[in-house]
Amino acid sequence: MPTHFTIPKTQRVAIIEETGGSIVIKNDWPVKTQAELAPGECLVKMEATGCCHTDLHAALGDWPLKANIPLIGGHEGAGIVVAIGDNTANSPVALGDRVGIKWLADSCLNCEDCRNGREQTCLDAKLSGFNVDGTFSEYAVSFVNHVTPIPDGFPSDEAASILCAGVTVYRAIKYSQTNAGNWIVIPGAGGGLGHLAIQYAKVRGLRVIAIDSGEEKKELCKKLGADVWIDFRESKDIVADVKAATDGLGAHSAVVTAASSSGYTQAVDYLRNGGTLMAVGLPGEAKLEASIFFTVFKSISILGSYVGNRQDAREAMDIAARGEVKVHYVCKEIEELKDVYEGMKEGKVAGRIVFDLTK
Ligand code: 8ID
Ligand code: ZN
C-alpha cells in the first residue's frame, strides 16, 4: 500500500446552500490538507456514494432536527484513506485502506450510550451529511474510529449503500424478536432500505411480505426473494391481505422502511399477538397512530431502530461482501443529484442510486 498520496487543493462537491434550496455543484471546493486534519480525523478519497432518502429530508429541512446548512450531504460512501491527522493514537485503519463512511461519523465512545453499544445516540455524535460534511464530494473528512473497513474484493459501488441502508435494516431485523420461519412485513420494500431488508430477512430464514407500489418494485421484490407482494396503492385492505398470507394470525414483525407515515398505519392491526413493530422510516412530523388498546391486548412491542453501531456495520458489510445480500443500484454522476431527489420524492427509485465519484 502506498504511504503517500497526492492530494489536490480543490475538488468537486454537491452542496445545498440554503434549506430547501437547489443543489449547487462546485468544482473549486477546498480539500483539507493532512496538516489541517485533527487527531482522529482521516481524509477519504471517495469512490462511490449512495443517495439515501435521509439526504432528501436533510436538504428539504422536513425533520424536527435541522441539518447544518450550507451542507455537503451524503452518508453512505466508500473510498480510500489518503491521510490521517497527526497525533492520532491507535488508529484501527491505515493509509491505503478502503473504508466506508456511515451516517454515524463519530461518537465519544465513553458515554453511557457508547458504552452500551448505542453509539448512534451519543450526545456528541457527528452525523455525516447532516452536522458534518458528507460523502457527496471527491474527498471527505471522517474519523478513524468509526469508518468501516471494506473487505478486499468487494467493489466500492456495491459496498456504498451497505453503510446506511444495509446497516440500518440489518440492525432493525436483528432486534425484531423473530426466529427463522417467522413472517416479517416490510412496508417500503422496493426502496433503498426495503430492498436490502428483504434480503437480510431471507438470510435469517424469515418469510417476507413486501409492501410497496408499481410493477418495477414488484418485480424487484419478487426477484430478491419476497414470498408475498402487496401493492399499497391497489390493495383494498392491507390488514386482510397480510392476515390471509399468515394463516389468519398476522405477521410476527413489521420493519417499516417507508418514508411516509402511511406505511405505519395498519402495522399494529396486521401483527399477530406478541408481534414487534420496528420503526425505521422517518417521516418528519407524523405521529405514530396505533390503537393503545390492541397494543396492550396483543402484547405488541414498538421499537425505534436508528442506523447501527460499528459492530452492526461490520456484520452487515460482511454478509454483503460474501454475496448473500446485493445492492440493486443504478450508477449516476453527482451532477444528477437534483433529478435523483425529484425521482425519490415521486417514489420512482427502485432500490438505490449510487454516484460514481471516480470520474
Ligand atoms: O436509522 C434509521 N431509522 C434510518 C436510516 C436511513 C433511512 C431511517 N431512514 C429513513 C429515511 O429517512 C426515510 O424516511 O427511512 C426512510 C426510507 O429511506 P429510503 O429507503 O432511502 O427511501 P426510498 O428509497 O425513497 O424508499 C421508500 C419507499 O417507501 C415506499 C416508497 O414507494 C419507496 O419505495 N412507501 C411510501 I413513501 N409509502 C408507503 C406505504 N404507505 C411505501 N411503501 C408501503 N406503504
Ligand atoms: Zn441513510
Ligand 1 atom nearest residue 279's Cα: 3
pLDDT of residue 333: 97
Cell numbers placing 308 = 447501527
The one-letter amino acid at 83: A
Q: What is the mean pLDDT of each run of 10 residues along the chain (359 residues)?
A: 84 94 94 98 98 96 94 97 98 98 98 98 98 98 98 98 98 98 98 98 98 98 98 98 98 97 94 98 93 96 98 98 98 97 96 96
- Nearby residues for ligand 2 (ion, Cβ within 5 Å): 52, 54, 164
CA 319 – ligand 1 centroid, Å? 22
From 140, 175, 199, 155, select the one nearest 305 (Cα to Cα): 175
Q: What pLDDT, on the 0 to 100 scale, is given for residue 20?
A: 85
Contacts of range 263-267, beta carbons closer than 8 Å, 24 or more positions apart: 263/187, 263/188, 263/211, 263/232, 264/187, 264/288, 264/289, 264/290, 265/289, 266/238, 266/239, 266/242, 267/185, 267/187
Q: Which of 52, 170, 237, 329 to mutate to test the pocket of ligand 1 (most atoms within 8 A of CB)?
A: 52
pLDDT tens profile 303-316: 999 999 999 999 99
Strand partners, 315: none
pLDDT for the residue numbered 21 = 78
The CATH architecture to which 167-304 belongs is 3-Layer(aba) Sandwich (3.40)
Residue 55 has a pLDDT of 96
Fold assignment, 10-150+328-356: Quinone Oxidoreductase; Chain A, domain 1 (3.90.180)
- pLDDT score recorded for residue 1: 60
**Res 84: pLDDT:** 98
**Which residues contact residue 297 at a Cβ distance below 8 angstroms, ignoring those fewer than 6 apart?**
none
**What residue ranges of the chain are covered by domains with CATH 3.90.180.10?**
10-150+328-356
Ligand 1 atom at minimal distance to the Cα of residue 308:
1
Rounded to the nearest whole angstrom, what is the distance from the C-alpha of residue 260 to the centroid of ligand 1? 7
C-alpha cell belonging to residue 57: 429530508
pLDDT, tens digit, 9 for 90 and up, residues 309-346: 999 999 999 999 999 999 999 999 999 999 999 999 99
Instruction: List, by residue range, all CATH 3.40.50.720 domains of the chain.
Output: 167-304
- How far are the Cα atoms of 68, 241, 263 from residue 295, in angstroms, in the given order? 37, 20, 17
